[in-house]
């Protein structure tokens, strides 16, 4: 599912993404041209399952992204659809992650592999888990490290293409304008999504 070209106020919920490479891209104008995206892309992804997907769950560009109560499972060593990363922090994305369950196996399994940085610098986590363990602080540290590992090249790309790059922050400048209920535990989120996500449910 790609969402682009000034799309706005879109929710993807209770969907199963399974055995895929590039699952979700938001923002189609490219990291260097936010003209069609910058004022748009208010997105919610909730109660979805990403199972054995390689990347882009989602890859986020130019917008406000609320990711909550989602379940992620992947194996970095899988022969088909090995996990590369879950969340792609794209240019000027402001990502709020809440009560997400990130499960990962394989020889390269690590909290840092939740992210790939594509010039994004704003990410906040509240109450998520990595392999069953509460991991908000670790997730934010990993998001910061992913940016810092390529900060010089991100700044150079921003200077040449016009998007904003700054030091990592968990201050997003927005809060969700709707009510919602967060999962109470990793097990509860997994079980709820398995019981309710997918066609016909």
Supply the residues annotated as catalytic: 56
Say how many C-beta atoms besides its own lie within 10 A of residue 137's C-beta: 9
Helix axis angle, 136-148 to 151-161, nearest 10°? 60
Structure tokens at 90: 């794209």
Detail the DSSP E strand segments found in the chain.
Answer: 2-3, 10-13, 16-22, 25-26, 42-46, 49-55, 59-60, 63-68, 71-75, 87-90, 93-98, 101-105, 115-118, 122-126, 129-130, 133-134
């Amino acid at each position: 599912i790609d969402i682009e070209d000034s799309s706005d106020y879109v929710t993807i919920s209770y969907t199963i993404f399974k055995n895929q490479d590039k699952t979700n891209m938001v923002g189609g104008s490219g990291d260097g041209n936010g003209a069609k995206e910058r004022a748009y892309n208010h997105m919610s992804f909730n109660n979805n399952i990403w199972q054995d997907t390689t990347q882009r769950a989602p890859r986020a560009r130019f917008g406000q992204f609320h990711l909550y109560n989602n379940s992620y499972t992947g194996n970095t060593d899988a022969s088909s659809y090995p996990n590369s990363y879950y969340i792609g922090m794209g240019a000027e994305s402001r990502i709020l992650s809440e009560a997400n369950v990130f499960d990962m196996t394989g020889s390269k399994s690590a909290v840092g592999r939740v992210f790939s940085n594509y010039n994004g610098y704003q990410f906040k986590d509240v109450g998520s888990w990595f392999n069953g363990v509460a991991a908000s602080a670790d997730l934010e540290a990993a998001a910061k490290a992913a940016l810092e590992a390529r900060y010089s090249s991100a700044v150079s790309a921003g200077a040449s293409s016009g998007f904003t790059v700054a030091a990592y922050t968990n201050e997003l400048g927005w809060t969700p304008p709707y009510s919602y209920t967060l999962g109470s535990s990793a097990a509860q989120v997994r079980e709820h999504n398995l019981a309710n996500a997918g066609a016909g449910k």
